[in-house]
């Protein structure tokens, strides 16, 4: 390996364990114990899922705005969003108001959950006069086709008897009319960028109900109800606006959460990692490094599909820099992983922990040990 003077440590968060910046810091401390003369750059990354807003705040600063909104089951909960300095821009994380991790396992039922709280965050940003919104939609508890968001922004939904309905996943199949006469005026004016790293359309075998419903607690019967509802909802939107959800890859993400932002507003889907990378100057940071280290809590077959680690590996390969991967758990053939990501070496906390529980509980110390191993590797 070439001479290493500048090391870029750019992990995603280790879910349910440590935020990305702490993962990077502990790895860096371990490296420094062996190689005190190297320059360490802590550079957390994210792909649009949970922790993306905190990652952007780490790099770009900003002010947090705290408000009370509705959780996925319409209960009051404290949430917040980031206002970027001097940019008239809000960064809103769906998971902070409508996230799956906000619910206990018995509460997880996408027939009952909605994105209302996320809509309330968006409404607050629009009420404040912010003209651009970056919305990250990973980690949702919902398959409501974005009706919760829409409701917070002034849309009303009526059944065939003229009764107004409360937004939820099971409501969609009963909608006869969408009333957009009282929609927030900011929706048609604000630039809305939706961080999304999947290509699923709203309906069909790869649609929101069948793919994401079971992940959020839906059984077979519930999936069928959700699917019927999304089909009904998208047909009404097509009739009213001409927007065909099934001709726009990504509309199925987060259970269709961005549907109304795209059909009735200026919402545009964009890779979450690309958004973060452009805002933080990630490519330049890679270009100025001699070695890149990335990782996340679990590296497996799904990592290649839009996850931050795969995106970091792609940039690193293009810049012809050596790469090391660190996971809490590595699942799969390691030689194939090396080849797939162009990695020089792989490390797993589970390999040096007593067990998987220990790898989570003692992650800081295990990361330092891994840092020392990495230092030995590139100096050996």
Rounded to whole angstroms, how far apart are CA atoms 9 and 295?
A: 9
Helices (H), 35-79: 52-60
The pLDDT value recorded for residue 197 is 79
The answer to whether the CB of 32 falls within 8 A of the CB of 38 is yes
Q: For residue range 21-48, what is the model confidence (pLDDT) as tens digits? A: 999 999 999 999 999 999 999 999 998 8
Q: For residue range 149-203, what is the model confidence (pLDDT) as tens digits? A: 999 999 999 999 999 999 999 999 999 999 999 999 999 999 999 998 788 999 9
Rounded to whole angstroms, how far apart are CA atoms 172 and 138?
A: 22
Long-range interactions of 273-276: CB distance < 8 A, separation 24+: 273/45, 273/46, 273/47, 273/48, 273/197, 273/306, 273/308, 273/311, 274/311, 275/48, 275/134, 275/193, 275/195, 276/45, 276/46, 276/47, 276/48, 276/52, 276/55, 276/56, 276/195
The pLDDT value recorded for residue 380 is 62
Give the domain range for residue 334: 6-45+281-379
Within-domain flag for 31: yes
Rounded to whole angstroms, how far apart are CA atoms 368 and 27?
A: 5
Q: What's the mean pLDDT when you consider all of the chain?
A: 94
More confident residue, 2 or 162: 162
Domain boundary among 242, 270, 298: 270
Q: What is the CATH number of the domain that holds 125?
A: 3.90.1510.10
What are the structure tokens assigned to 366, written together? 């295990």
What are the structure tokens assigned to 265, written together? 């507003």
Integer CA distances (angstroms), 356 to 299, 335, 348, 351, 353, in order:
14, 22, 11, 9, 7
Rounded to whole angstroms, how far apart are CA atoms 313 and 310?
A: 5
Query: In this structure, is the dihedral angle defined by the CA atoms of residues 206, 207, 210 and 215, taken in order, positive or negative?
Result: positive
Domain boundary among 211, 243, 270: 270
Residues 230 and 346 in one domain: no
Contacting residues for 133 by C-beta, under 8 A, at least 6 apart? 89, 90, 91, 92, 122, 125, 126, 190, 191, 192, 193
Residues 287 and 260 in one domain: no
Specify the number of domains making up the chain.
2
pTM of the full structure = 0.91
Q: What is the three-class DSSP state of 83?
A: strand
Residues 116 and 37 in one domain: no
The pLDDT value recorded for residue 3 is 83
Which H/E stretch holds residue 27?
helix 20-34
Residue 123's beta-bridge partner residues? none
Q: Pairing mode, if any, of strands 156-158 and 177-179?
A: antiparallel
Spatial CA neighbour of 245 closest among 202, 212, 304, 288: 202
Within-domain flag for 1: no
What are the structure tokens assigned to 326, written together? 């660190």
Q: For residue range 241-288, what is the model confidence (pLDDT) as tens digits? A: 999 999 999 999 999 999 999 999 999 999 999 999 999 999 999 999
Contacting residues for 329 by C-beta, under 8 A, at least 6 apart? 297, 298, 299, 300, 348, 349, 350, 356, 359
Q: What is the CATH number of the domain that holds 308?
A: 3.40.50.10350
């Amino acid at each position: 390996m070439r001479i290493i003077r500048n090391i870029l440590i750019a992990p995603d968060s280790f879910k349910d364990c440590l935020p990305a910046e702490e993962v990077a810091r502990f790895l860096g401390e371990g490296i420094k114990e062996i190689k005190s003369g190297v320059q360490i750059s802590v550079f957390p990354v994210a792909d649009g899922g949970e922790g993306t807003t905190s990652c952007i705040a780490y790099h770009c600063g900003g002010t947090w705005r705290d408000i009370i909104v509705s959780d996925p089951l319409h209960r009051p909960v404290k949430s917040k969003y980031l206002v970027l300095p001097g940019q008239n821009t809000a960064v809103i994380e769906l998971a902070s108001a409508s996230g799956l991790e906000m619910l206990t396992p018995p509460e997880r039922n996408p027939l009952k959950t909605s994105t209302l709280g996320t809509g309330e965050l968006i409404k607050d940003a629009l009420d404040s006069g912010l003209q651009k919104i970056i919305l990250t939609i990973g980690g949702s508890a919902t398959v409501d086709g974005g009706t919760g968001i829409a409701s917070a922004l002034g849309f009303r939904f009526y059944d065939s008897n003229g009764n107004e309905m409360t937004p939820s996943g099971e409501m969609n199949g009963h909608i006869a009319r969408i009333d957009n006469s009282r929609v927030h005026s900011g929706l048609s004016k604000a630039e809305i960028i939706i961080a999304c790293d999947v290509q699923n359309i709203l309906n069909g075998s790869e649609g929101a109900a069948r793919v994401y419903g079971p992940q959020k607690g839906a059984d077979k019967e519930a999936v069928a109800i959700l699917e019927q509802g999304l089909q009904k909802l998208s047909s009404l939107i097509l009739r009213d606006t001409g927007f065909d959800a099934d001709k726009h890859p990504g509309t199925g993400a987060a259970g269709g959460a961005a549907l109304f932002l795209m059909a009735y507003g200026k919402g545009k889907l964009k890779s979450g990692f690309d958004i973060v990378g452009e805002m933080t100057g990630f490519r330049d940071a890679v270009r100025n490094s001699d070695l890149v280290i990335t990782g996340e809590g679990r590296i497996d077959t799904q990592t290649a599909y839009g996850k931050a680690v795969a995106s970091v590996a792609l940039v690193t390969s293009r810049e012809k820099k050596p790469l090391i991967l660190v996971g809490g758990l590595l699942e799969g053939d390691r030689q194939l992983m090396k080849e797939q990501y162009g990695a020089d070496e792989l490390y797993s906390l589970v390999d040096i922990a007593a067990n998987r529980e220990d790898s989570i509980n003692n992650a800081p110390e295990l990361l330092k040990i891994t840092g020392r191993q990495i230092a030995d590797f590139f100096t050996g």
